[in-house]
Amino acid sequence: MGTADAMLDMDLSDLVSRLDESLRTEDFADLDASENGLQVDRHDDSVTRVAFSVDAAVETIESAVDWGADLMVVHHGLSWDGIERVTGRHHARLARLLEADLGLYVSHLPLDAHPDHGNAAGLADLLSLSGREPFGALGGESIGQRGRLSTPRSTEAVHRTLEEALDHGGEGVQVLDFGPEPIEDVAIVTGSGADWFDEAVDAGVDAFVTGEGKGQLYHQARESAVTVFLGGHYATETFGVRALATVLENWGLETTFIDAPTGL
């Protein structure tokens, strides 16, 4: 992240419109509990510096304020099916945003799903998957990707790639090693993607990569003979915001990525 060659001021409304169009925000309005798009406005409509992070939390908001950001772009925002009360954590987060006149833009499922800049796309890039197809069906959209390793690889080799690259906060990548050797076909849904395991089984893949699992996933994987990699919710969802930061740099804005790994 850094400074573009020619720094620009962009109207917040124009920037939001460009992001919404690129991410197809409106197409996910009825699918996502997150209120995607601009969640917190700012008094000054001019934007020069944009901070990116996975989560909108006091820690990341304070870091964005310290850096002098005009806008924060995150994957996990503040409003999920609306905000009923502005108390406790909601008050602490909103108060700091408003005090600093720091806008907040959120992209949850749209950023999971984006074929080029999305979280699943970034993880597919990391694994060098080819022949990619949409995966992870949700209400007519797909929030993941499926593809083939260019060269079949052992479970150990895939695990090592994920361990070395993912920002798992030292917690490592869990493996449910029940699938065939070597691995060739892989399906991905980042974050909390265990609900799409049966789709992976139906697709006939060798391995399924997601962030976090559920208790029943162990036996599902064992009985289905599919290997599962659990890279961590946070770790598998840094790709999208990082990719968006590069997009905005190309639009002439200064960006930074605020890393706050949770180990979860």
CA distance 249 to 257: 12
Binding site annotation covers 219? no
Binding site annotation covers 91? no
Binding site annotation covers 237? yes
Binding site annotation covers 114? no
Residue 204, phi-psi category: left (phi > 0), alpha (psi -120 to 50), beta (remainder): left
The three-state secondary structure class of 71 is: strand
Residue 83, phi-psi category: left (phi > 0), alpha (psi -120 to 50), beta (remainder): beta
HSE (side-chain half, CA atoms, 13 Å) at 71: 28
CA distance 1 to 36: 24
Binding site annotation covers 90? no
**Long-range pairs for 125-130: beta carbons < 8 A, 24 or more residues apart:** 125/239, 126/161, 126/162, 126/165, 126/239, 127/158, 127/161, 127/186, 127/209, 129/186
Q: Which residues pair with 37 in a beta bridge?
A: 106
| Known binding positions for a divalent metal cation | 75-76, 112, 233, 237
| Known binding positions | 75-76, 112, 233, 237
